[in-house]
Chain A
Amino acid sequence: MFQTVIAALNQGFVKSLEVFYLTLLGAIPLGLIISLGAMGKLKLLKGIIKVLVWVIRGTPLMLQLLVIYYGPGLIFGNNIWGSGSDGRFTAAMIAFILNYACYFSEIFRGGIEGVPKGQQEAGEVLGLTKSQIFFKITLLQVIKRIIPPMGNEIITLVKDTSLVRVIAVYEIMWEGQAFIKSDGIIWPLFFTGVFYLLFNGLLTLLFGWLEKKLDYFKV
């Protein structure tokens, strides 16, 4: 029995991991683009981004999942996601990437704007180019500033992956819960907690290590 459970949970965990890393892969670049737009000169773009970030951060991710998955079908009478599991997974990824990109964008913006103006000016009077200033001076200071909030956000993401089950993407908790119906046992559901704890434990160690690596200077 134990082996059956572990096998099922492993399979669910692989799905959870997929949601996790695909979200990071999409949300980090998109978040960077959004943060650059938010700091840019175009007033209209800034306004749009402000509203988007407000809506996304002001409503539950679960609601966003449901709206993105069911919305097109209800509003246009046209379920663009199809009926298969692939479509549900794509919808889930779009919701997750959009949601996390908005959170990341605010972290990036805070990190970039937190670098004192004087750092750039010092680079300018030393005759450095814009890109030298960014890569040799600003970037590492930004990274140091954003590592702690990014760590928090990424650990939240691990736990948030469990939300995709509301549109029937079979992640680990879904698999665990299925044993209640099929075998009348609840411990597999609780056992999923071990997976979360181990994975988040690893991430905590990783971020702790990164913070330590950049401890040699103060910003």
Chain B
Amino acid sequence: MSLLEVKNLKKSFGRIEVLKGINVSLNEGETLSIIGPSGGGKTTFLRCCNLLEIPTEGKITVGDHLIYYSNDGEKLSDDELRERRRHFGLVFQNFNLFPQYTALQNVALAPTLQKMGTPDEIEDRCIGILARVGLSDRLNNYPHQLSGGQQQRVAIARALALSPEILFFDEPTSALDPELTGEVLKVIRQLAEEKTTMVIVTHEMSFARQVSTKVCFIADGVVAEEGTPEKVFDHPENERMIAFLGKLNAR
């Protein structure tokens, strides 16, 4: 059975329907890349999964846990929202590190507030996570003292510290200078090899092809093409996907 199930997810802002019925399912340990043209609804999809936006319609489940179901019709309380978000981690395009905290404090903040252990245990664990993303020598630096690539790796560590079941990334490298994207992609690739379940919105096609077990092409609020990287990139059937690839190749 799949870990993440998204069924007929719709989201409107006012009169504009941005997501028009998205269906996605993902098995544990898989890496899903989401690609597609600008404005297609990729970010909105991630934000709906993380309940930063409340969907208009549809159902989201993780394993046996219900994340969202429009037919419930109830307005979720803040506590309920937090409980449901626990299954997910989200890494933002522009990092959103907390500027007043060091790298280590950024990673340790949420586990500490959620009393996930003694202060010493939490610190040790967070130092270990920062080591995994290659930042052992940057524990006590503040965000403004770090490069974009280092900041994004801290943000990944911060999300990992809560051991989410599924980790979402929204264009994790598109705010970075080209020479810094490599170090972030390397970390994500390593997570994929360790079988972390991930959903990655990306414009890095060669990366998507290498790391993903599955690719979704979202355009105009629907999944227009999906499948293995080989199928989506080498044998696309959908017209828009073909046009999208054509434009990329022309560049």
The chain A residues found within 8 Å of chain B, CB to CB, are 116, 118-119, 121-122, 124-130, 132, 136-137, 140-141, 144, 216-219
Give Cα distance in the complex from A217 to B142, angstroms. 7
Q: With A119-B96, A216-B142 given, is the CB distance from A125 to B78 under 8 Å?
A: no
The residue on A at minimum CB distance from B52 is A121
- A125 engages B99 (CB within 8 Å): no
- A141 engages B85 (CB within 8 Å): no
- Sample 12 A-B pairs with CB under 8 A, ordered by A number: A118-B94, A119-B96, A122-B96, A124-B85, A127-B86, A127-B162, A129-B78, A129-B82, A140-B100, A141-B99, A141-B100, A216-B142
- Distance from B77 Cβ to chain A, minimum over Cβ atoms (Å): 11
- For the complex, would chain A's binding face be called helix, strand, loop or mixed by DSSP majority? helix
The residue on B at minimum CB distance from A218 is B144
Centre residue among B88, B99, B114, B143 by max chain A CB count within 10 A: B99
Is B50 in contact with chain A by the CB < 8 A criterion?
yes
Is B158 in contact with chain A by the CB < 8 A criterion?
yes
- A218 engages B82 (CB within 8 Å): no
> How many residues on the B side are at the interface (Cβ–Cβ under 8 A)?
29
Residues from chain B with Cβ under 8 Å of A216 in the complex = 100, 142
Is B205 in contact with chain A by the CB < 8 A criterion?
no
Question: How many CB-defined contacts (below 8 Å) exist between A and B?
Answer: 64
Residues from chain A with Cβ under 8 Å of B86 in the complex = 127
- B162 engages A126 (CB within 8 Å): yes
- B52 engages A125 (CB within 8 Å): yes
Known: A125-B90, A127-B82, A127-B114. 7 other contacts (CB 8 A): A119-B98, A124-B81, A125-B89, A126-B110, A126-B158, A127-B85, A217-B99
Residues from chain A with Cβ under 8 Å of B88 in the complex = 125
Is B135 in contact with chain A by the CB < 8 A criterion?
no
Residues from chain B with Cβ under 8 Å of A137 in the complex = 98
Residues from chain A with Cβ under 8 Å of B109 in the complex = 126, 128, 136
Residues from chain A with Cβ under 8 Å of B144 in the complex = 217-218
Q: Contact flags (1/0) for B105-129 with A, using CB distance below 8 Å?
A: 0000110011000000000000000
Q: With A216-B142, A217-B144 given, is the CB distance from A127 to B110 under 8 Å?
A: yes
Q: Which of the residues B79, B92, B143 comes within 8 Å of A118, measured between beta carbons?
A: B92
Centre residue among A124, A127, A140, A144 by max chain B CB count within 10 A: A127
Residues from chain A with Cβ under 8 Å of B97 in the complex = 122
Residues from chain A with Cβ under 8 Å of B90 in the complex = 125
Sorted nearest first, the 10 A-B pairs with minimum C-beta distance are A126-B110, A118-B96, A122-B96, A218-B144, A125-B90, A217-B100, A217-B99, A140-B100, A127-B82, A217-B142
Centre residue among A122, A129, A136, A219 by max chain B CB count within 10 A: A122
- Distance from B186 Cβ to chain A, minimum over Cβ atoms (Å): 23
